[in-house]
Amino acid sequence: MVADPVPLQLAAELFPNGISRYAVGGLLVGLGTVLIYVGTGIPAGASTFLESTLSYVSDQSRFQKYVGSRDWRLVFTAGIILGAFAFAATFQSGVVSSSLYEPGSTGQLYEVAGVTLWTTDVQPWRLFLGGILVGIGTRIGKGCTSGHGVCGVGSASKTSLIGVVTFLTVAIGTAQVVAALGVSP
Amino acid sequence: MTDRHPLFKPLVFVGGLVFGFGLGFSQMARPEVVLNFLQFQDFGLLFVMFGAAIVSGIAFALLPRIRDAAPLTGDPYERRLKPFDRNVLVGGAVFGVGWGLSGICPGAAYASLGTGNITILWALAGMFLGAYAQGYWRSQSTDSGSAFAGAD
């Protein structure tokens, strides 16, 4: 078989881990969103959970407006955590394998009761400080990667498209600057 | 609070399971993979975001033609567009700095915890703290200012 090496080389450079795990994962993320939407008509985003859950412990008016949705948002997040755990217990643990799944080599693997778990090497201060900004920004900006990125872009919302372009551009700039300053991982 | 259909929460749970499994499988739940994307070392993450948006986009476009309302809530299938204002830009930029610094966003953080990433609790603690700070500030300014509450 004669293959043109230039496009192949380019693909290997742009996608060193292939595309199948990303595409399959993305389809599942979309499918989860669609399941909820088909049954309930709700385009569910992930970041409102932060404020709706705070309404259990704070009577600030900003959080209290989410009282009506806080229970199902807790259920949604519990589902996300357990769904990811199901991934850990199967593909991450090597119990199930597929040519569509590329394991990857980042972070640290460790084992508890036969399940291969994973933890990040990214420094806690980056996670904590970044997390604070994510908490502020997603709530002021009316959505996150799922609310704007999946639901908003999926409904061709101009607000969401502008939101996605804004946070994606700024995130790329930030990550490049942080890397250039020699911060790793 | 209105009584929900008994299948409402089970369905949301199943949707969350699939959503979280997908984030794990795609490795978007790993901050390193997101940072590699943002540093242009692996563009695969585009397939997660656009793949998910395309799937939901097809459903959002088709469902209103098939049925009028969702079976478990009676809510109409309609586009729920968020109004655009300066907050979308300001909040988006703040979120962008946080995402670029940490490599993690809310949904991926929940999923990351599920894959065993105890260290991600730092990010989750930060997210709650940040969400609390803006909510506290906005509650004060809404309560003391006009009766207008921003819609979202």
Domain boundaries, chain B: 8-142
Residues A47, A95 within the same domain:
yes
B115 at A interface, C-beta within 8 A: yes
* A79 C-beta neighbours (distance < 10 Å), count: 27
Residues A104, A143 within the same domain:
no
pLDDT digits (tens, 9 = 90+) for B9-40: 999 999 999 999 999 999 999 999 999 999 99
Expressed as residue numbers, the domain containing A75 is 1-120
Distance, C-alpha B100 to centroid of its chain: 16
pLDDT digits (tens, 9 = 90+) for A126-184: 999 999 999 999 999 999 999 999 999 999 999 999 999 999 999 999 999 999 999 99
Residues A106, A131 within the same domain:
no
Alpha carbons A33 and A145: distance in angstroms, whole number: 13
pLDDT digits (tens, 9 = 90+) for A17-34: 999 999 999 999 999 999
| Count of the separate structural domains present in chain A | 2
> Above 90 in pLDDT, residue B150?
no
pLDDT value of residue A40: 96
pLDDT value of residue B152: 46
Q: Could you tell me the sign of the dihedral formed by the alpha carbons of A166, A155, A84, B6, in that order?
A: positive
CB distance A24–B94 less than 8 Å?
no
Report how far apart, in Å, the C-alpha atoms of A56 and of each of A66, A140, A168, B130 are.
Answer: 10, 20, 32, 17
Whether the predicted interface score ipTM is above 0.90: yes
Shortest Cα distance from A2 to chain B (angstroms)? 26
Cβ-contact A51, B91 below 8 angstroms = no
Q: How much is the average pLDDT of B40-54?
A: 96
Residue with tokens 């399940």: A115
Residue with tokens 């729920």: B80
pLDDT value of residue B143: 74
Q: Find the residue in A nearest to B94 (Cα).
A: A137
What would you report as the CA-atom Rg of chain B, rounded to the nearest whole angstrom?
A: 18
Joined together, the tokens standing for residue A92 give 């991450």
Written as one letter, the residue type at A146 is S
Cβ contacts of B29 within 8 Å, gap of 6 or more: A84, B23, B108, B109, B111, B112, B114, B115, B117
Closest CB from B23, B77, B95 relative to A134:
B95
pLDDT digits (tens, 9 = 90+) for A100-116: 999 989 999 999 999 99
Closest CB from B23, B33, B131 relative to A135:
B131
Q: Find the residue in B nearest to A81 (Cα).
A: B114
Q: How much is the average pLDDT of B50-73?
A: 95
Residues 78-107 on B with a CB inside 8 Å of A are 78-84, 87-107
pLDDT bracket for residue B149 (50, 70, 90):
very low
| Predicted TM-score (pTM) of this structure | 0.94
Per the rule left: phi > 0, alpha: psi between -120 and 50, beta: everything else, B81 is beta
Alpha carbons B67 and A183: distance in angstroms, whole number: 52
pLDDT exceeding 70 applies to what percent of chain B?
93
Residues A69, A151 within the same domain:
no
Closest CB from A54, A121, A130 relative to B126:
A130
Residues A116, A131 within the same domain:
no
Residues A138, A106 within the same domain:
no
pLDDT digits (tens, 9 = 90+) for B66-107: 999 999 999 999 888 899 999 999 999 999 999 999 999 999
Closest CB from B75, B92, B122 relative to A131:
B122
DSSP SS3 for A116: strand
